[in-house]
Amino acid sequence: MANEVTALSIVHTIQDLQQLLTERRQQGLSVGFVPTMGFLHEGHLSLVEQARQQNDVVVMSIFVNPAQFGPGEDFEAYPRDIERDARLATEAGVTILFMPTREEMYPQEGGIRILPGPQAAELCGASRPGHFDGVLKVVLKLFNIVDPDRSYFGLKDAQQLAIIETFIRDFNLRTKIVRVPTVREQDGLAKSSRNVHLTEAERKEAPVIQQALQLGAGLVVEGLSVNDIEQQVADAIVTNSSGSIDYVSLLAYPELTQADATSKEVILACAVKFSKTRLIDNIIIPLKG
């Protein structure tokens, strides 16, 4: 679909955003939504590109959500560059950029918590207790504020995507979720805002993550046991980099339950810690079932 509205409006309050959206809706325009935490890269821009193709208006939010960071995690250090983000969003064809303050999103601390189900007990949910509670809280708020027809999420955060799809289904939320493939550097490293925190040496080593996952995908197809696959992937990463393993896990996708012969798709996912940053990546492998 052609994007009929092209000039970028930047708004900081819910009221201003909703006023703009009411006007667009009265004109019968559809709304695509790209939620982000900013420090934009080509992964975010590919979400915008897809949103532009399918909607008249593209809303992007930039909000580093404190509720999804645990104590000792990188909330303060999370990279931020609002001016660069606004320029990239304009060039990418975002129609409305919503950049709320913390007070705008959370006028009062505490309040209601949303507890995700068993999908959140695995992978990053196991390493980052409470992380997905915070993701669901902000995502629900953003869905209610924007009321998008379609919302765009990257498969790099495949667990987040799976949990949000369950949330949409379980709570009959109106927006339709669109899955967008991971965008990679030429050497295979998944694009991430956090890559900026890698040292030069770590940046050279980091593509080993995707190479190890590819190796693991081959072993899945060969039919090796889950334990052997996870072990070989972990070994390939630690042998060829200074990264340490947070987890390597093979599960049914999107259920995130134990993979077995009936699984239609499986995810081989890992989190690797370098000196100042923790990177995640995954590969989703279709099975004959």
Residue ranges that bind ligand PAF, judged by CB under 6 A? 35-37, 65, 68, 135, 138-139, 157, 160
User: To the nearest whole angstrom, how small is the minimum distance from the Cβ of residue 125 to ligand PAF?
Assistant: 13
Measured from the CB atom, the residue of 109 and 200 that comes closer to ligand PAF is 109
CB of 120 to ligand PAF, least distance (A): 13
Contacts within 8 Å (CB) and 24+ apart, 245-250: 245/270, 245/271, 245/272, 245/273, 246/127, 246/270, 246/271, 246/272, 246/273, 246/278, 247/123, 247/126, 247/127, 247/271, 248/216, 249/122, 249/123, 250/216, 250/220, 250/226
Tell me the longest C-alpha to C-alpha distance in the chain.
58
Six-digit token string for 204: 């050279």
Cβ count near 68 (within 10 Å): 21
C-beta atoms surrounding 112 within 10 Å: 6
Provide the minimum distance between the beta carbon of 239 and ligand PAF in the complex, in angstroms, as a whole number.
Answer: 30
Residue 75: in which H helix or E strand, if any? none
Closest to ligand PAF by CB, 157 vs 246, is: 157
**Sign of the torsion angle spanned by Cα atoms 180, 287, 253, 64:** negative
CB of 229 to ligand PAF, least distance (A): 27
How far is Cα 121 from Cα 21, in angstroms, rounded to an integer?
A: 36
* Partners of 244 in the β-ladder: 273
Cβ closest to ligand PAF, residue 63 vs residue 208: 63
For residue 136, give both structure tokens.
């669901």
- Whether residue 131 lies in the annotated active site: no
Supply the minimum distance, in Å, between the C-beta of residue 131 and ligand PAF.
Answer: 9
**The one catalytic residue among 12, 41, 44, 131:** 44
CA 158, CA 164: separation in Å to the nearest integer? 10
State in angstroms the smallest separation of the CB of 142 from ligand PAF: 7
**Closest CB to ligand PAF among residues 94, 138:** 138
Name which of 70 and 286 has its Cβ closer to ligand PAF: 70
> DSSP state, 109?
S
Is the Cβ of residue 21 or residue 161 nearer to ligand PAF in the bound state?
A: 161
Are 23 and 95 spatial neighbours (Cβ–Cβ below 8 Å)?
A: no
Residue positions annotated with a catalytic role: 44
